[in-house]
Every structure is written in structure tokens, then in C-alpha cells.
Homo-oligomer: A and B are copies of this chain.
Amino acid sequence: MDATDRELVALLQEDATQAYAALGKAVGLSAGAAHERVRKLRERGVIRRTTIEVDPAALGRGVLAFVMVESSVWMGDSAAAFAAIAEIQEAHVIAGTASVLVKVRTSTTEQLQYVLRRLYEIEGVSGTQATVSLETFFERPASPLGG
């Protein structure tokens, strides 16, 4: 994981359809060497997979909200219960009065309300506090450079 690897990761985050020849040229390597580095990054799990980035609104998920889920019991083993709700994009165990923070995308605020209702049906959930996003400034991959 040297500087060249980080550059390769940054380039692939920008555009993973690039040919290895172009990648190599950008970091001063041959296509074969770039390919071998990327192969190893995948093997080590640094690169988990190649995916597409989608416009949520086009999928009927134009409403974004973050929901703090409060619970009366330890929720450390409830991952599956949250994953079963398709509208939930992320779920994180947090410290504080709430115990899980989820990121939800729905088509409408009515559907958001329905998601909240389903959250209450999860064993141990005693409350929710939803915050709707009015505008997303940006969403980007974790930077391999800087910081």
C-alpha cells in the first residue's frame, strides 16, 4: 500500500472502466504492472468489488433520511433485522442515547413513515428520531489521499 497503490485506487474510484494501459500511464507503469498491482489490491481486500454508482432518484429513492434508533436492549446482534428492510442503505451501531443510526432512502415521506413503523417492529426498538435531508451537497468514496 504505497503511494502508487493509493493513486491507482483514486483513479479507479473516479472511473473503473479505464484500461490498464491508461491506468499504468497515469502512474508511470506498464499495463502489466498496473494490472498486477490492482489484482493484489483485490486479493488483499483493499478493493472489495467493482460496482456502479446510481442516481437514487431514478430508482424511486429520492427521499433521504437519517434515523436514530433507540432501544431498550443491546442491539449488537440485530444486523439482519435492519438488512431485511430494503430501504435501509446503511446501519451503524453508535454510542449515546440512540444505539443504531440508519441511512434510509424512500420514494416519498409516506414511505419513510412506513419504514419507521417497521423499525418499531424490530425486537427491542423503543423509539426513532428521523432527520430528513433537504439537499445533498455531495457523496463520494473515502479518499485514499490526503487527510
A interface residue numbers (CB < 8 A to B): 1, 6, 9, 12-17, 44-56, 58-59, 61, 64, 66, 76, 78-79, 82-83, 85-87, 89-96, 100-101, 105-106, 111, 131-147
Contacts of A137 in B (CB 8 A): 78-79, 82-83, 90-93, 100
Contacts of A76 in B (CB 8 A): 135
Given contacts A101-B133, A136-B92, is CB(A47)–CB(B51) below 8 Å?
no
Q: Smallest CB-CB separation from A145: which chain B residue? A: B86
Q: Smallest CB-CB separation from A114: which chain B residue? A: B147
Give CA–CA (A44, B58) in the complex, Å: 9
Contacts of A91 in B (CB 8 A): 136-138
Give CA–CA (A13, B101) in the complex, Å: 23
Give CA–CA (A136, B96) in the complex, Å: 15
Contacts of A100 in B (CB 8 A): 137
* A59 engages B142 (CB within 8 Å): yes
* A93 engages B49 (CB within 8 Å): no
Q: Smallest CB-CB separation from A147: which chain B residue? A: B86
Give CA–CA (A58, B89) in the complex, Å: 22
* A12 engages B93 (CB within 8 Å): no
